[in-house]
Amino acid sequence: MRPSRPTRPSRPAFVGVAVVLLASVAVGCGDAGELKGAGSTPTAISPDQLWPDLTPAASPAFDIGEVDTQVVKGITVPGGDIHTVDPVTVVRREIAESPGDYTEGAYDETARRMADCGRSGVQGLRCPVLKAYYRDLTGDGHDDMTLGFRQLPGNLTAVRVYTVRKNRLVQIMGYEDAVSAVELAGRSVIIRAPSEVAGYEYRLQWTWDQQQRAMLLTNDEMLRTGGADRKHSPHSQRPSASASPSAPSPSASASGR
């Protein structure tokens, strides 16, 4: 015999059960569900403007070269594919354009070690050119190249970003510093550098700007690293940005080829 379907309780019985359940919940949970105060809220304070009669500056006092883009002479990009560009050739071209820095200047060791560099990213142990990383930083659907090379002697690394315009290689960002790390995030290049203040580091973020058609310095801050006993940076002051700067290879999260 098939078991009979349970009968639905009449409305008065159902209501009675519900009342009993609600009462037991109230007894067991006390004031559960009630709003509780989180304490006093600090009063919002608007910024105070200092020296309101001061004449606003009409031009910048210093030029850090953050929109100094330049076409790399002597290098063409057939088909617009930046992957066909040899990173070593790009660095050699930069050295040739700045003989005062690399012949008998501050980075003459870099020029000498270029002889240990092969082609297409195949470098010797002494080659100052670091692995190139490729990612679309300009948002045009095509990869751009982030390149780094060591500035020797010394503790500096040069970071460059290149894109392709009309089959021409164009540098859209350059910076040099004693670099701790380099990261690619979205359309930004993030450079971390040691600070002269123990336990802190600099974090600089360069982001593609469509209007300027260049990577702009959009964030420059000092962050605590947690290492209070950290030694001071080997350089006494931060070098300024330039069309031909420096930094180490980006993090492994970027796609290297």
Is there a domain that residue 181 lies in?
yes
- Per-residue pLDDT reduced to its tens digit, 86-138: 999 999 999 999 888 888 778 999 999 999 998 555 566 789 999 999 999 99
Spatial distance between the Cα atoms of 117 and 192, rounded to a whole number of angstroms: 26
Specify the pTM: 0.70
Is 179 domain-assigned? yes
What range defines the domain where residue 206 resides?
Answer: 70-224
Neighbours of 138 (CB within 10 A): 21
The β-bridge relationship of strands 70-76 and 133-135 is unpaired
Question: What whole-number distance in Å separates Cα of residue 95 and Cα of residue 171?
Answer: 14
For residue 184, being part of any structural domain is answered with yes
Domains in the chain: how many in total?
A: 1
| Residue pLDDT tens, the chain, 257 long | 434 333 334 444 444 444 444 444 445 555 566 777 777 888 888 889 899 899 988 887 776 656 789 999 999 999 999 999 999 999 999 999 988 888 877 899 999 999 999 855 556 678 999 999 999 999 999 999 999 999 999 889 999 999 999 999 999 999 999 999 999 999 999 999 999 999 999 999 999 999 999 999 999 999 999 765 544 444 434 544 444 433 333 333 444 54
Residue 195 lies in a domain: yes
CA pseudo-torsion sign 102, 107, 108, 111: negative
The DSSP line for 98-159 is -HHHHTSSTTHHHHHHGGGB-STT-B-TT--BPPPEEE--SSSSS-EEEEEEEETTTTEEEE
Contacts of residue 88, defined as CB under 8 A and 6 or more positions apart, other chains included, come to 114, 117, 118, 119, 120, 121, 123, 127, 129
Task: Please report whether residue 115 resides in a domain.
Answer: yes
Is 167 domain-assigned? yes
Scanning the chain, the segments in alpha helix (DSSP H) are 11-29, 87-97, 99-102, 108-113
- Do the domain assignments include residue 121? yes
Instruction: Confirm whether 96 is domain-assigned.
Output: yes
